[in-house]
Amino acid sequence: MSAVEFGVFGGSFVPPHIAHTLLVSSALSAHGLERVLVVPAYAHAFGKQSSSFEDRLRMCELAFGELPRVEVCDVERYLPAPSYMINTLAALAQRFPSVQLRLLVGADIVAETHKWHDFAGITRVAPPLVFERQGAPSHDASQPALPHVSSSEIRRRIASGESTRGWLSPSVAQYARARALYREP
């Protein structure tokens, strides 16, 4: 009998968009994961500016809420800042001791892992599942690629009142506009 596996999908989610939901759907259907934990960064390790944690958490709930076996997890709220994935995984491993964790990452992120805090430790705790992404160097050309979706373009479109159709779930777009997120100061 194989071990139960949970995917862990962390990110800034500024905002969570269609490529994010496609990655999670693919992880669940193609990799036999029991569950995926979507983990918005509380205090991004690379200092990225973003909307509030509460807004990003709520948008993740809206974006991923209808996907079966997906849980939006606020674990980073309770961990020391900045948010290092190795600390997040250690906390999740304590919470789910009988589960094998797998880190879900897009191929575009693989080139940045040398910047991560203790990526070797991350791979021991949660061996990565890498998903192809259009426009990124190929990790496994036999896998279909997720579409390239620009978060900065989505934020620009929200700020200017342009359509985000096909890039963002309507509920996330509505939330971002209602909260006046991504407006220029």
Question: Which residues lie closer than 8 Å to 79 by C-beta, 6 or more apart?
Answer: 42, 87, 88, 91
pLDDT at 49 over 70: no
Neighbours of 155 (CB within 10 A): 20
What average pLDDT does the structure give for the chain?
Answer: 91
Please, which pLDDT band fits residue 1 given cuts at 50, 70 and 90? very low
Domain extent for 57:
5-178
183 part of a folded domain: no
Give a yes or no: residue 24 inside a domain: yes
Task: Please compute Rg for the chain using Cα positions.
Answer: 16
- Domain membership of residue 158 (yes or no) is yes
Q: What is the pLDDT of residue 96?
A: 96
pLDDT tens by residue, 119-154 = 999 999 999 999 988 877 777 777 778 888 999 999
* Residue found under tokens 């990003």: 56
Summarised one tens digit per residue, pLDDT across range 78-123 is 998 888 999 999 999 999 999 999 999 988 888 888 888 899 999 9
CA angle 155, 157, 161 (to 5 degrees): 120
In a domain, 156, yes or no: yes
Q: Is residue 15 part of a domain?
A: yes
25 Cβ contact partners less than 8 Å away, ≥ 6 residues apart: 67
| Inside any domain, residue 137 | yes
CATH number, domain with residue 78: 3.40.50.620
Percent of the chain with pLDDT over 90: 71
Residue 57 or 2, more confident = 57
The total number of structural domains in the chain stands at: 1
* Residue 88, in any domain of the structure: yes
